[in-house]
Amino acid sequence: MAGKETNMYGLRPDQLYELQTAFHQIDTDHNGYISGDEMRTCLYRNNIGYSDADVQRVLAQMDFNRDGRVSYDEYMGFMAKIYRGEIR
């Protein structure tokens, strides 16, 4: 059974848990969406350098429905593509 896809994102359970945990750490106001400010805070907290343009570009890539915010499903779908090697 190890390695079998068990969820809609095609991820192993450990990968799914890792991404879910990360989303909830980024979404500090717990409204179910990631904002630019939350992403910048997360990057700063983890000593990751970034520009505002970088943050906006990544958030725009994740925002599949173009409503100006990144939902849990959008985040998970985007990150699953990275984990599966579909986005580099």
Does 3 reside within a domain? no
Cα 55 to the chain's mean position, in Å?
Answer: 12
Does 8 reside within a domain? no
Q: Is the dihedral of CA 74, 75, 76, 77 positive or negative?
A: positive
Does 4 reside within a domain? no
Give the count of domains, the chain.
Answer: 1
Does 30 reside within a domain? yes
Bridge partners, residue 34, by sequence: 70
With 80 as the cut, is the pLDDT of residue 1 above it? no
Task: Give pLDDT tens digits for 14-69.
Answer: 999 999 999 999 999 999 999 999 999 999 999 999 999 999 999 999 999 999 89
With 80 as the cut, is the pLDDT of residue 6 above it? no
SS3 category, 64: coil
With 60 as the cut, is the pLDDT of residue 13 above it? yes
Position with higher pLDDT, 16 vs 7: 16
Bridge partners, residue 70, by sequence: 34
- The token pair at 63 is 């925002």
Task: Phi first, then psi: give them for residue 37, nearest 5 degrees.
Answer: -60, -40
| CATH number for position 22 | 1.10.238.10
The range of the structural domain enclosing residue 75 comes to: 13-83
